[in-house]
Structure 1
Amino acid sequence: MSTPEWQLHFRPTPAELAEAMASVGSTAFRGSARAVLIVYWLFLGLCAPLGLTFFFWVGVELAGGPGISDLPTGGLPVTFVVLALASLWIARRVHFHTSVVSAQSRFGRATAATITPDHLIIATQHSSWQTDWADVEAVTRGPKVIAVQVSAIAFALPLRAFESPVDADAAYQTMRDWVAQTR
């Protein structure tokens, strides 16, 4: 029986990198760190829009518009919902921008990945990075990528870089097995 190995060549897209980053983020934020992440999203989706809602309507009143007590019944809730959705959309755009910057960087433009039982090598035109499976925190799979997490770094291995969906499935399960063997 031959030892499984994969040699991939690809240029990751911002969407693939964003998916890998999100996947790694979900495994990196465990325990008390998960609570911090929840508070962060509650602040962005609840507290900030609530404050902005009142700031907006006080500004309208100071500019000569209707006072808060004179607003139509849905005025405050509608304003809050619009600002909450805008706040969450902006936050997601900021996070997605990181993947755009990464995809356009010299490191992200073109990549080769060598996957062997001993290590994962990520190489570009100018550099090479190697990690043994013992240093890999997690291997996760999403709709477009297999994400390899080393510390808080996400390496995206696009499914399209594999020979077939079956080959991608085999690589994913094999990498997870290699990581499990190091525990």
Structure 2
Amino acid sequence: MWIQLVTCWLWLFMNSAEGSRRGCGETLTASRGILTTPNFPGPFSVPLNCEWVIDAQHVWAPNTSIIVYLTQLFVYEGLTFTEYQLYGSDYKINPQIIHRVNESNISKVRWIQTFQSFLVIRLELITADSAHLRVLDNFLDVYGFNITYEISTEAVRPNSCTMMDCGFTGNCYDYYK
């Protein structure tokens, strides 16, 4: 438990070669990185329409997968995870929604995994008022998300850090090798 808490509070300062915390949507090819909503954990301008594309086609090894750890997820609508066999600006082959965040699963799902070459994470919000988690009856308003991804041949880490492990007020960046 102590290691997990220390891990949850670990701040990862990553250079662009490992993926960095940027704006709203981009194509990611690094083997690991962090995705955040603008101004996380603070409020952001709405409407918001973001699309992050995790591209694993450059990794050619058996059992390669894209794993997304839902480290700090405070938005409970408008967020979908769709896998694709191929994905481009003018073609999208074999789309399948593999997870849609909602009120009933926000604290139950720790990670998302796909063995396809592309994972598209889409956030569409018209308003943030009813879509973000409020802690202790509006004592602490937290908006958006900070999630960690990796492209790997390793197994999913079942004890990955989530907002429930770190406490709602902590900065939770999941540790990875």
- Shorter-chain TM-score tier: under 0.3
Please give the TM-score of this superposition, normalised by the length of structure 2: 0.23
Question: Greater strand share, 1 or 2?
Answer: 2
Please give the TM-score of this superposition, normalised by the length of structure 1: 0.22
Largest Rg, 1 or 2 = 1
Question: Greater helix share, 1 or 2?
Answer: 1
